[in-house]
Structure 1
Amino acid sequence: MTKSSAGKTQADADTVVKVGELATTAGLTVRTLHYYDEIGLLSPSRRSSAGHRLYSDQDVERLYRIGLLRQLGLQLDEVAAALGDPDRDLLPSVNQHLARLDQRLSIEHRLRNRLATMVDNLTRQQKPDIHQLLDTLEDMAMLDTKIRHRIPTLVYRDIAAAHEFLTTAFGFEPGRVTRSPDGIVRHAEVTAGDGVIWLHQVSEQYGLQTPEALGACTEGMSIVVDDVDAHYRHAAQHGADILYPPTDQPYGYRDYSARDLEQRLWSFMSPLT
């Protein structure tokens, strides 16, 4: 075999994947791969004589990293930044993938045990209680790959003030804050436990308003915390409008409810033991 100018054999140099084949294998559309090329996220190393995109093994490895980082919840600009890190090699990415797979297998094992218990109970003419069914539904939802993850979006008139309140009074982890050229905050994020929450601006065009402006709240957020009483004391000290203090509930949780600066309802709870 002859060596190419890059030091590879000709067979190695010819090992490429066409754009359509790569899209089908990766579960993407050709349009998505074209878009990745346009924004510089994934550009094919070669092109055919007719100008068609051809992807090398390095390109496919990069697409693997992109797919993994997207599964971890990163936006495309964040993916590009992560891939641009010269210290980031393939090993940490594969370790992350392995950890996610182990987590999924753990959930599947737990779900199987729940179902086996339910089968045993039903065989003995014992119907599963509501907690068994809810736990089973939760595990089923965690394994549903049609929806990757959820991002609640809450509307605020003053996003900057809401971001400050949620992180200070309720103890959420502060996230990205995006400002317009005039310095006004147009988007912000906080992390609550295992998920991120987006703070969105009011929009007359799309009918997005705050509970304060509407004079009513049609939804609320429920957050599980380690110590609901300690959380209640902290929130009260930092100006949260408490609706009722921590109370043992018949559905197995001790909770309290409060409103934020723009009258959105929040409930914080810990399971009763």
Structure 2
Amino acid sequence: MERTRPDSGAAWRVGQLADLTGVTVRTLRHYDQTGLLRPSTQTAGGHRLYDHANVVRLYRILALRRLRFSLAEIRSLLDDPDWDLASMVARHAAETDRDLAAAARLSTHLRAINGEIARTGAASPEHLFSIMEEMTMLDTPIRSTTTLLVYDNLTDAHAYLTSTFGLTAGPLEVGPDGRAVHGELFAGDQAIWLHPSGDGYRSPRELGGVSSMVVIGVDDADAHYAYAVEHGAAILNAPVDQPYGVREYGTRDLEGHLWYFHSPLG
């Protein structure tokens, strides 16, 4: 397919940009809501349009995610005046070369071990060690997970989870009407996103039940329990030793989400 040159003034609607990049429309809309990637303009009918600068910014977001930067780091790096596209592409290329080299080594080891099995009916530990090392290096492109929780009131939820559970506060994005549209918290280096109810999203309080829970590891479950109680947490059960090797307690937050905090036994 012929691509439009950057200096042609081309613009793409959200669906077109999703088709060209493989990024879902939902993700692009989320980037718009949170201010990571605002469309350059809109059509008379209200359709969002993305220009060449938007495309470059989207590449930066995806490349930084691929290079294992956290969302908080990406947010600050996007507006760095010293950022250089060539340096980013060079770093991305180096990362890709590393993955390709690891894949080539794995292929070589697999062919060698296949020949050894054909000759002797077994594989040496040395060959298996080599294969497992290369597999670990390649592993998976998935580097992290983000939990998304739905609340009626993101502002209250953001404040509650920070003060009651000691989570690290991230940004709280507010829309033109003054209503919070996105919130972020961190448990260690893992992100927790807060999403407003509506458009098919409902909090447990609205639904009258839950279908999931958040489980977080802490240094000392008893100390964390005491902190949560002191700050008004609705406790489900006090810390107890579990047969699967942790000491754990449970709580329910202000809109009904279940949270469990545990630390290793011994």
What interval of TM-score do these two structures reach, taking the shorter chain for normalisation? 0.5 to 0.7
1:186 is aligned with what amino acid?
V
| Among candidates 26, 31, 36, match of residue 20 of structure 2 | 31
The Cα shift of 1:32 comes to 3.0
The Cα shift of 1:244 comes to 1.0
Tell me what 1:175 maps to.
170
Tell me what 2:233 maps to.
240
1:1-273 map, 5 Å: 31-32=20-21, 38-41=51-54, 67-71=62-66, 72=68, 82-87=77-82, 90=87, 143-145=139-141, 147-203=142-198, 205-206=199-200, 208-273=201-266
CA 1:237–1:150: 2 relative to 1, 3 Å: same
TM-score in terms of structure 1 length:
0.56
| Larger RCO, structures 1/2 (Cα 8 Å, 6+ apart) | 2
The Cα shift of 1:260 comes to 0.6
Q: How many residues align?
A: 187
Runs of at least 5 residues in structure 2 that lack an aligned partner in the other structure: 5-17, 23-38, 41-49, 103-134
Tell me what 2:36 maps to.
none
Larger Rg, first or second structure (1 or 2): 1
Q: Distance in 2 between matches of 1:226 and 1:157?
A: 31
Runs of at least 5 residues in structure 1 that lack an aligned partner in the other structure: 1-17, 21-28, 44-61, 106-138
SS in 2 for 1:85: coil
Q: Distance in 2 between matches of 1:87 and 1:170?
A: 37
The Cα shift of 1:212 comes to 1.7
2:230 is aligned with what amino acid?
Q
Q: Distance in 2 between matches of 1:38 and 1:163?
A: 34
The Cα shift of 1:180 comes to 1.5
SS in 1 for 2:191: strand
Tell me what 2:109 maps to.
none
Contact 1:19–1:30 under 8 Å retained in 2: no
1:234 is aligned with what amino acid?
Y
Contact 1:176–1:188 under 8 Å retained in 2: yes
* Identical pairs, percent: 40
CA 1:155–1:80: 2 relative to 1, 3 Å: closer
CA 1:271–1:42: 2 relative to 1, 3 Å: same
